[in-house]
Structure 1
Amino acid sequence: MELSGGCLCGKVRFSVGSEPRVHYCHCDMCRRATGSAFAVLAWVPTESLNWTAAMPTFRRSSPIAERGFCSDCGTPLSLGYDASPGETARHVGTFDEPEHLEPRYNYGSRQRLGWVCCGMDLPHRDTEERR
């Protein structure tokens, strides 16, 4: 299986060669990083990721994580935790065919906004990380 995607302007492109593990993330860091009520993240082994055009710009978003984005259009593209260098996340909306990437659980559930109702029937996991 190979999936591809990229940023809004097309400068940054990627492909992944494995089945992603997809979830909703409700933590306040993901909300601020995406400018949305939650993020939808697709985790893949780092070795299955290939940047097929320009690489994103990376910035440290917390003491434990780094995020990638397009320096031209600003699209948020990736998330990686220092403690898990063997996996990296891509934002589901950046995939060319996101309709195939259905979330299977919620993360950061205690920080979920009260009016967000998608994925309520999925398993919940929490995080202690906050901005």
Structure 2
Amino acid sequence: MTAFHTGGCQCGAVRYRVEGDLDYPHLCHCRMCQKAAGNYFMPLGFAPGRALTVTRGEPGWFHSSDPVRRGFCRDCGTPLFFDTLQSDGMAVTLGSLDHPEAVPPVSNDGIETRVSFHALLGGLPGKQVDRDDLPGGLQSIASTNHQHPDHDTEIWPVEKRI
């Protein structure tokens, strides 16, 4: 049986499937990836050859440099793909996978621009969030959730069913 990974954007407008394993899962700390992710780093894994298929929708594309374009959902803005144009394949953002825990990173790349406090992140205290700042707390989020579930669906959003 062939391994595969599925994923997509937050709203479900763009979904994809990768046949086989993702190569070289890593955290990229370069400034372009920081800006593209809106985060301190961007987790990426490479889908070689034609292993990646977009199964729903069409991503938007932004050329962050001449040799690289980045794919994203035009509806919700989720970063999805990193495409080095001369490469045979394309990287996916590991956080957009339905099961991101299945592909742990093996390297930190672009460390010359890594944020200075990165090493401290693992030592920060953790807490569960109750969101008492919202009327209805977490229940108000759960009962009005518009996020696509972490699996393929025939129709999304549910309101579009006939």
Q: Shorter-chain TM-score: which interval?
A: 0.7 to 0.9
Distance apart, 1:61 and its partner CA: 1.1
Q: Please give the secondary structure, in 1, of the residue aligned with 2:101.
A: helix
Counterpart Cα distance in 2 of 1:71 and 1:25: 23
In structure 2, the partner of 1:43 is 46
- The TM-score normalised by the length of structure 1 is 0.85
Aligned residues: 117
Structure of larger gyration radius: 2
Distance apart, 1:13 and its partner CA: 0.2
Distance apart, 1:46 and its partner CA: 3.6
Q: Please give the secondary structure, in 2, of the residue aligned with 1:52.
A: strand
Distance apart, 1:91 and its partner CA: 0.6
- Asked if 1:10 corresponds to 2:12, the answer is yes
In structure 2, the partner of 1:106 is 108
Counterpart Cα distance in 2 of 1:76 and 1:33: 7
**Higher helix proportion, which one?**
2
Structure 1 outlier segments of 4+, above 6 Å: none
- The TM-score normalised by the length of structure 2 is 0.70
Q: Please give the secondary structure, in 2, of the residue aligned with 1:10.
A: coil
Counterpart Cα distance in 1 of 2:5 and 2:45: 11
Distance apart, 1:19 and its partner CA: 0.7
Counterpart Cα distance in 2 of 1:106 and 1:54: 31
Distance apart, 1:14 and its partner CA: 0.2
Report % sequence identity. Answer: 38
| Structure 1 residues without counterparts, runs of 5 or longer | 119-131
In structure 1, the partner of 2:30 is 27
